[in-house]
Amino acid sequence: MRTGEGLSGFDWPETYRDFDIAILRDGTWTYQGDPIRRHKLCQLFATVLQRDEAGQYWLVTPGERGHITVEDAPFTAVEMREDHDEQGRKTLSFRTNLDYWVTAGEGHAIRVTENPETGEPAPYIEVRDGLDALILRPIFYDLVARAEEIPVSGGIALEIESAGSRFCLGRVPEAAAD
């Protein structure tokens, strides 16, 4: 199983440029507006992908760095599987569009925000170093179907557990829960 760890831990070069690379909301990498069709090249770029404190995305090597544009998240979660770890706890692992696997748990949180444009839930899992994968809708529906309903004031919370960590997928108001 490839985990997609990145190259990091070194000082960033002072000078930079714009690489004219973008990652679209559906996970497609583009160069000068055209899709990058070589999957292995995108996987290579992903290993040097970093995000700064201001939320900007960069491809960074010890020799150079370049700014890139990310529409939503740099990865998409395209597959999920349930398993158990060595302690017998349930685990949920996600495969990204670049064929890296990440297991939800400590350090790899699932979070759900609201899309400001549509009001729909926007679910993510942290892959590494503040880099997220947008969980695609069919995978999110599967997560919701597996969620436990927890009574809370004014309704229910939908929670999912993985590797000993619990994550809230959203809340349903009491009137809607009936």
- Write out pLDDT tens, residues 94-122: 999 999 999 999 999 999 998 778 888 99
The structural domains of the chain, ordered by start, are 17-70 (3.10.540.10), 75-177 (2.30.270.10)
Question: Left if phi > 0, otherwise alpha if psi is -120 to 50, otherwise beta: which for 149?
Answer: beta
Q: What CA dihedral angle connects 52, 53, 56 and 61, to 10 degrees?
A: -10
- Say whether pLDDT at 3 is over 60: no
- DSSP β-bridge partners for residue 50: 58
pLDDT over 90 at 10, yes or no: no
Would you state the pLDDT for residue 2?
A: 45
**Gyration radius of the chain's alpha carbons:** 18
Q: What is the pLDDT of residue 140?
A: 96
Extended beta strands in the chain, E state:
17-23, 29-31, 34-35, 49-51, 57-60, 65-70, 75-84, 90-96, 101-103, 110-114, 121-128, 131-135, 148-152, 155-162, 165-173
| The token pair that represents 55 in the structure block | 């939320």
Instruction: Provide mean pLDDT across the span 29-37.
Output: 97
Among 84-88, 137-141, 171-175, the least confident range: 171-175
The pLDDT of residue 8 is 61
Between CA 113 and CA 129 the distance in angstroms is: 19
Residue 26 has phi, psi (to 5 degrees) of -85, 5
Give residue-wise pLDDT tens across range 36-95.
Answer: 999 999 999 999 999 999 999 999 988 889 999 999 999 999 999 999 988 899 999 999
